């Protein structure tokens, strides 16, 4: 999806669609009609909550419509980067007045369901964004995180609240949901990060390879949102711009500012950083950029860097991620294996935000499994357990995971699950995969890196910008440009669950490079189905003690520190080991396993090196074996 299509889809979804974009964290939550609850409170209000430094945070509060006198309910809070609500333009207001569209059409389904389950819902604009005042010198700043605790404390003091607050959100809003545990605010009793990034580097530069195809469009989008510029958000001008303004005026003012004068002053004061430009400086994990908070490293932008505070809060978590949604499942598992907080982890065939079923063996554009409404029920059930009673019941950590190709859910408390063993498939003659280690000396394959190759236009990386379906076409044609190794037909059904690990004995004519490794299924009819991938910049190949890292890695441990970078020496063989993104998939008897190797993914990832055309030599002999390790079991 192009940046223009993303921006236009975003504006249209916020202005006129029944369900906002998942990539925006289901951001816009329109206020219901200005009706009174039986308890005497307005059902929907938009207010400013003043922070310790005078910054005012815009907050929408939506109560259950039938809230009774004296009833006190838990509050569920979401803090967004993408406008908490939108103002209606003249055309939208006219359609509402003529009953050509019903107010319910603008209702956020998740919010409405939480209200039905008797939760109050708060949606706040993060400082320096939307209708809130302040500015942003960095994402997830200390002030932004402190605000999360203060808004929660304010909610807990309201007459309609039982004093208990849960946080939730998708994507960026999922990160703020988790970071709300950092201030250790007593009112916050549970957090629900949905499709968020435990380690921000895994989204910005997975394996050290800069994901420019995500960060640059995202940076342009949030800059336009911060200016309250709906036309720049949609990347339109002229008549199309006037049409967009007829639908929406941009971010919604608070109730006390109906003309938007205060809003205009606050928007003028945002003056935020260029996110993409700033993050480009963080090439290595120990690189830093300057901000009001001092030198900022990747750990400061990630929940893993707040481990001590999050663990000390003791709050239970419910975490959701999708197998084919960028890397959130990798981070979710690393959090599960590292943090002491009770965690319920749900890993399924979800697009970003959970709208689509991305099982590669299912037909495309199918609704999610479980359906979105069932997801809301499961989320509300978690908050029922953690926010209603006093004291809250004990939450036992567990993982609920879906196996693609099988269409079944499983539960485990350990990862990887019991019963799996690591099986090696060696790169072998004839571009094959073999279970036997090579016995000969000398064999190798050469590959000239093709920088035009692409993994597609609706990939696991694209779903981060819009929450769209993940659809990989038959990769037989694409694989003709790659270096591929294909195994023999399977003699039985096999399950792969966990993180495949690739070991390559590689020589290159260049000192740098990126390896894009694809795990694929080849059917008896010849169709090639994408299953999984791993991305890795070769200069980060040095392996370190896993205990030296800030969290437990799922595969070989790499520091990504500048001091540990090791350029290749042209012509010399280097051993490179890295994990693919975790997965769970069932392959059928008669199908074949394929490994496809590329040195680029055009339009998504930055190329390495910046110039030249490297030639790889992939060794696969007795002295320098190359192999793929798969966590497998027969079924």
CB atoms within 10 A of CB 381: 12
Query: What is the Cα–Cα distance from 531 to 323, expressed in whole angstroms?
Result: 10
**Closest by alpha carbon to 143, among 15, 211, 51?**
51
219 is annotated as an active-site residue: no
Q: Which residues contact 14 (CB under 8 A, 6 or more apart)?
A: 20, 21, 24, 27, 28, 83, 86, 248
**Closest by alpha carbon to 484, among 445, 537, 538?**
445
Query: What is the Cα–Cα distance from 509 to 574, expressed in whole angstroms?
Result: 12
Give 397: exposed, middle or buried? Use CB within 10 Å, 0-12, 13-18, 19+.
middle
Q: What would the two tokens of residue 181 be?
A: 């545990």
479 is annotated as an active-site residue: no
What is the Cα 575 distance to its own chain's centre?
31
The C-alpha R_g of the chain, in whole angstroms, comes to 25
**Closest by alpha carbon to 248, among 5, 20, 464?**
20
Q: Which residues contact 414 (CB under 8 A, 6 or more apart)?
A: none
Catalytic residue selected from 141, 171, 499, 508: 171
Three-class secondary structure assignment of 184-197: CCCCEEEEEEECCC
445 is annotated as an active-site residue: no
Distances (CA, A) of 431 to 580, 595, 618: 20, 10, 11
Give yes or no for a cis peptide into 609 (omega within 30° of 0). yes
Q: Return the DSSP state at 32.
A: P
Give 419: exposed, middle or buried? Use CB within 10 Å, 0-12, 13-18, 19+.
exposed
Measured at the alpha carbon of residue 39, what is the angle toward residues 33 and 41, in degrees to the nearest 5?
45
Q: Return the DSSP state at 126.
A: P
Distances (CA, A) of 168 to 84, 122, 123, 124, 155: 14, 10, 10, 12, 15
- Name the phi and psi angles at 596, rounded to 5: -120, 130
Three-class secondary structure assignment of 399-461: EEEEEECCCEEEEECCCCCCCCEEEEEEEECCCEEECCCCCCCCCEEEEECCCCCCCCCCCCC
Catalytic residue selected from 197, 257, 302, 352: 352
Residue 326, Ramachandran bin (φ over 0: left; ψ between -120 and 50: alpha; else beta): left
Residue 456 in contact with residue 598, Cβ under 8 Å?
no
Query: What is the Cα–Cα distance from 176 to 168, expressed in whole angstroms?
Result: 8
Catalytic residue selected from 226, 325, 532, 601: 325
Residue 91 in contact with residue 246, Cβ under 8 Å?
yes
- Which residues carry out catalysis? 171, 325, 352
């Amino acid at each position: 999806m192009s940046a223009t299509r993303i921006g236009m889809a975003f504006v249209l979804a916020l202005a006129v669609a029944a369900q906002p974009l998942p990539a925006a964290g289901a951001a816009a939550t329109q206020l219901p009609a200005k009706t009174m609850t039986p308890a005497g409170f307005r059902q929907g209000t938009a207010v400013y909550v003043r922070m310790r430094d005078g910054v005012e945070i815009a907050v929408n509060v939506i109560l259950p419509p039938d809230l009774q006198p004296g009833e006190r309910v838990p509050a569920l809070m979401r803090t967004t980067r993408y406008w908490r609500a939108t103002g209606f333009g003249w055309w939208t207001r006219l359609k509402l007045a003529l009953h050509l569209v019903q107010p319910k059409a603008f209702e956020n389904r998740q919010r409405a369901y939480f209200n039905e389950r008797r939760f109050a819902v708060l949606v706040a604009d993060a400082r320096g964004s939307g209708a809130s005042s302040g500015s942003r010198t960095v994402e997830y700043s200390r002030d932004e995180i402190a605000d999360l605790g203060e808004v929660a404390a304010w909610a807990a003091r309201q007459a309609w609240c039982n004093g208990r607050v849960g946080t939730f959100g998708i994507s960026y809003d999922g990160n703020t949901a988790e970071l709300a545990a950092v201030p250790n605010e007593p009112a916050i009793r549970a957090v629900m990060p949905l499709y968020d990034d435990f380690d921000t580097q895994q989204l910005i530069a997975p394996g050290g390879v800069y994901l420019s195809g995500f960060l640059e469009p995202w940076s342009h989008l949030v800059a336009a949102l911060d200016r309250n510029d709906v036309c720049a958000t949609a990347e339109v001008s002229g008549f199309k711009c006037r049409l967009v303004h007829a639908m929406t005026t941009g971010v919604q003012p608070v109730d006390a500012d109906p003309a938007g004068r205060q809003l205009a002053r606050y928007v003028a004061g945002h003056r935020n950083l260029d996110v993409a430009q700033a993050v480009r400086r963080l090439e290595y994990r120990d690189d830093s950029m300057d901000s009001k908070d001092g030198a900022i490293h990747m750990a400061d932008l990630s929940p893993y860097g707040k481990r001590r505070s999050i663990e000390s809060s003791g709050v239970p978590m419910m975490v959701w991620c999708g197998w084919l949604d960028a890397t959130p499942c990798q981070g979710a598992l690393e959090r599960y294996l590292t943090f002491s907080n009770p965690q319920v982890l749900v890993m399924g065939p979800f697009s970003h935000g959970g709208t689509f079923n991305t099982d590669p063996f299912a037909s495309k554009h199918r609704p999610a499994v479980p359906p979105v409404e069932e997801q809301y029920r499961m989320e509300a059930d978690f908050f029922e357990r953690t926010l209603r009673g006093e004291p809250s019941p004990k939450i036992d950590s567990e993982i609920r995971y879906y196996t693609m190709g099988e269409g079944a859910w499983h539960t485990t408390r350990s990862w990887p699950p019991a019963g799996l063993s690591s099986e090696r498939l060696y790169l072998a003659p004839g571009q094959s995969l073999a279970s036997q280690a090579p016995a000969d000396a000398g064999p190798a394959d050469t590959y000239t890196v093709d920088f035009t190759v692409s993994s597609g236009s609706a990939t696991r990386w694209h779903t981060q910008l819009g929450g769209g379906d993940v659809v990989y076409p038959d990769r037989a044609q694409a694989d003709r440009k790659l270096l591929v190794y294909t195994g023999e037909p399977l003699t039985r059904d096999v399950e792969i669950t966990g993180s495949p690990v690739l070991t390559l004995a590689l020589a290159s004519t260049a000192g740098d490079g990126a390896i894009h490794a694809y795990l694929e299924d080849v059917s008896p009819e010849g169709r090639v189905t994408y299953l999984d991938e791993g991305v890795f910049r070769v200069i980060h190949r040095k392996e370190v003690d896993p205990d030296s890292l800030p969290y437990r890695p799922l595969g070989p441990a790499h520091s990504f520190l500048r001091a540990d970078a090791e350029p290749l020496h042209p012509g010399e063989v280097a051993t490179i080991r890295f994990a693919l993104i975790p997965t769970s998939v069932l392959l059928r008897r008669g199908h074949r396993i394929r490994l496809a190797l590329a040195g680029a993914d055009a339009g998504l990832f930055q190329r390495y090196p910046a110039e030249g055309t490297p030639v790889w030599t992939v060794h696969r002999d007795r002295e320098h074996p190359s192999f793929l390790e798969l966590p497998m079991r027969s079924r």
